[in-house]
A and B are shown apart, each in its own frame.
Chain A
């Protein structure tokens, strides 16, 4: 599996955009970038995923660089409830030994403050 690198922590003011970076320089052609988050004392929650195009849903936007070696998760208007650990995960969607195996690293602790 390709590995990811994320900053250990970030702060963001409520109402502002939170931009969470992730490096995945060894990503291979059939691997997707997934983002999950874990709010304190809860199970992880899927946010968004992408292959090479930028993606947007009701929760966030995902920007993937053209060379696919890094990505940024954007929470456009962060709220206090977005305080959580955010995990960037690279995984294949097409079978093989890594399929279905989400490898959670240490993630980024995002703190949204008033």
Chain B
């Protein structure tokens, strides 16, 4: 198995632009998580899905952030419009339901200028 796949690995954009981050979970996993990591705030859970349904989005910072999971093998995290304070590493993780052993992807390093 290739593990959790994230794209792009690096993204540099200008303030105000739309950014879309992509994630492919491990086949067979039915829970998917989006995290954000910064030096100031550490690793934070943004949202998680179970069987493609958002279960908890309380960590999503504001309305500029949205996440979708149209099917079991794909999820997106969108920021529109992006701001410099959104600069961070965004991780996607997946797991089997009822199991807290989460498998993390390599992350997307986002820089908003």
* Interface check B33, CB cutoff 8 A: yes
* Interface check B106, CB cutoff 8 A: yes
- Tell me the chain B residues, 29-69 only, with Cβ under 8 Å from chain A: 31, 33, 42-45, 48, 50, 55-56
Name, among A38, A44, A105, the residue most crowded by chain B CB atoms within 10 Å (CB to CB).
A44
B43 adjacent to A101 (CB under 8 Å): no
Residues in A neighbouring B33, C-beta threshold 8 A: 100, 102
Residues in B neighbouring A106, C-beta threshold 8 A: 42
A104 adjacent to B50 (CB under 8 Å): no
Partner-A contacts on B (CB < 8 A): 4, 31, 33, 42-45, 48, 50, 55-56, 91, 93, 95, 98-107
Identify 24 residue pairs between A and B in the complex whose beta-carbon atoms are under 8 Å apart, listed by A's number: A34-B100, A38-B43, A43-B91, A43-B106, A43-B107, A44-B93, A46-B101, A46-B102, A46-B103, A49-B100, A93-B98, A93-B100, A95-B98, A99-B98, A100-B50, A100-B56, A100-B100, A101-B48, A102-B45, A102-B102, A104-B42, A104-B43, A104-B44, A105-B42
Give me the 10 closest cross-chain CB pairs, A-B, nearest first. A43-B104, A104-B43, A46-B101, A44-B104, A43-B91, A91-B100, A43-B107, A43-B105, A100-B48, A101-B45
Known: A91-B100, A100-B33. 13 other contacts (CB 8 A): A38-B43, A43-B91, A44-B43, A46-B101, A49-B101, A93-B98, A100-B50, A100-B55, A100-B56, A101-B45, A101-B56, A102-B102, A104-B43
